[in-house]
A and B are shown apart, each in its own frame.
Chain A
């Protein structure tokens, strides 16, 4: 018995390769002009170094990306079509999540990596030398027009980013909440099982009584 306990303790500390007996959870959301996603298991383990393939609705492969050690991945869409993200985590675990065209991030825009703040600064920086260089009063009207458009665009980007930043934790919470098994459904399931076997028992008993 002592040996058995020792073996149990030893096994408890063995690193399990992956959480195999669990459901796979995948979620995607737009962030800036890329799609960010997470793949993990229902017990909280994340799927690291998994290859995520991206398909369109017709099953044509558009590209692929790899998750980092926290199970997160990013993908920059090139076409405004619904995207299907698939990852095979092995041992019967397949993650699949679809993103409709409306949910997609804006495609194109400024440099891929520049966040809105940088874009706004760049717009302001571009406007300053333009106005200082154009010391001649004739050119100033044209430069302020460009300035306004760039500012508006930067503002739009900033707002989008701020909203996304606020919404992402909420989305994560909702995704986690969906995986929660509440007591009611567990009790409901047990009720169903007893109900099904009760009906079967009733039928069997009736058969027995008519036979007797």
Chain B
């Protein structure tokens, strides 16, 4: 999931960095003081989730949790995930500093897409709908991330279809686990802190009401 230094062509690195900076700027604009504690917690969640490797069959996987970050934060997922990636690169050498922009884009853009697709469902009155939307969001975020990773590699010269297949199939277990975890997290948040999704989506519901 983390592309390393030197694996991508320079144009891809520069393009990704420019787009990521744009995303972070948009995210910082939407990052209100109310959202900030949640952003910090989700950033820390992402930071730690990537370090815990769960053995599955002959290999092992780690969670990413970008779907949950997107569902709660929307565009603010960009700065939150960027901070997590930056510290992973500095502390553990995951990814690298030059490819930070591309990695941010690959992980945060799916989060934003999931936010737009699933935010209604997650905030819906029925808890079942919310759980299913959360699960779809969690799984979809990983699927989109693998697609973006494959696109970044394809633009750097790898064949797209084999690269995409390889990354996608290797991540199917993570998609399922993330779907379950995100669904459960949404249910939990709806039960103990129902205002989490409601508050943050208030502005959008107000728009709809107007």
Binding site for B on A (CB under 8 A): 4, 7-8, 11-24, 43, 45, 88, 90-94, 96, 181, 185-186, 188-190, 192-194, 196-198, 200-201, 204-205, 208
In angstroms, Cα B87 to Cα A192, docked, is 8
In angstroms, Cα B1 to Cα A22, docked, is 8
B-chain residues with CB within 8 Å of residue A192 when the two chains form the complex:
87
B32 interface hit (Cβ, 8 Å):
yes
- Which residues in chain B, 1-31, are within 8 Å of chain A measured between CB atoms? 1-8, 31
Decide if A204 touches B44 in the complex (CB within 8 Å): no
B152 interface hit (Cβ, 8 Å):
yes
A-chain residues with CB within 8 Å of residue B1 when the two chains form the complex:
20-21
Decide if B40 touches A197 in the complex (CB within 8 Å): yes
B-chain residues with CB within 8 Å of residue A188 when the two chains form the complex:
91
Decide if B53 touches A197 in the complex (CB within 8 Å): no
Q: What are some 17 contacts across the A-B interface (CB < 8 A)?
A: A4-B176, A11-B176, A16-B56, A16-B59, A21-B61, A43-B55, A45-B58, A93-B4, A94-B4, A185-B91, A188-B91, A190-B48, A193-B43, A193-B84, A200-B31, A204-B33, A205-B33
- Which residues in chain B, 57-99, are within 8 Å of chain A measured between CB atoms? 57-62, 83-84, 87-88, 91-94
Binding site for A on B (CB under 8 A): 1-8, 31-33, 36-37, 39-40, 43-44, 47-48, 51, 53, 55-62, 83-84, 87-88, 91-94, 149, 152-153, 158, 163, 166-167, 169-174, 176
Given the known inter-chain contacts A14-B57, A193-B87, please indicate yes or no for A20 contacting B170, CB distance below 8 A. Answer: yes
B64 to chain A, nearest CB (A): 8
B-chain residues with CB within 8 Å of residue A24 when the two chains form the complex:
4
Given the known inter-chain contacts A13-B57, A92-B4, A181-B51, please indicate yes or no for A20 contacting B166, CB distance below 8 A. Answer: yes
Nearest CB to that of A185 among chain B residues?
B91
B-chain residues with CB within 8 Å of residue A208 when the two chains form the complex:
33
Decide if B60 touches A43 in the complex (CB within 8 Å): yes
Decide if B176 touches A200 in the complex (CB within 8 Å): no
Decide if B44 touches A194 in the complex (CB within 8 Å): yes
B149 to chain A, nearest CB (A): 6
B109 to chain A, nearest CB (A): 16
- List 6 additional A-B contacts (Cβ < 8 Å) besides A11-B56, A16-B170: A11-B172, A17-B170, A21-B61, A22-B53, A190-B47, A194-B44
Decide if A194 touches B57 in the complex (CB within 8 Å): no
Nearest CB to that of A86 among chain B residues?
B6
Nearest CB to that of A190 among chain B residues?
B44
Nearest CB to that of A42 among chain B residues?
B53
Given the known inter-chain contacts A17-B170, A18-B170, A21-B174, please indicate yes or no for A91 contacting B92, CB distance below 8 A. Answer: no
Nearest CB to that of A200 among chain B residues?
B36
Decide if A45 touches B59 in the complex (CB within 8 Å): yes
Which 7 pairs across A and B sit closest by C-beta, in order of nearness?
A197-B40, A92-B3, A16-B59, A204-B33, A20-B170, A201-B36, A43-B60
Nearest CB to that of A92 among chain B residues?
B3
A-chain residues with CB within 8 Å of residue B169 when the two chains form the complex:
16-17
A-chain residues with CB within 8 Å of residue B31 when the two chains form the complex:
200, 204
A-chain residues with CB within 8 Å of residue B171 when the two chains form the complex:
20-21
Decide if B62 touches A21 in the complex (CB within 8 Å): yes
In angstroms, Cα B91 to Cα A76, docked, is 35
In angstroms, Cα B31 to Cα A205, docked, is 12
Nearest CB to that of A95 among chain B residues?
B4
B13 to chain A, nearest CB (A): 12
Decide if B32 touches A204 in the complex (CB within 8 Å): yes
In angstroms, Cα B61 to Cα A196, docked, is 28
A142 to chain B, nearest CB (A): 58
Decide if A198 touches B51 in the complex (CB within 8 Å): no
A198 touches which of B40, B84, B93 (Cβ 8 Å): B40
B59 touches which of A19, A94, A201 (Cβ 8 Å): A19
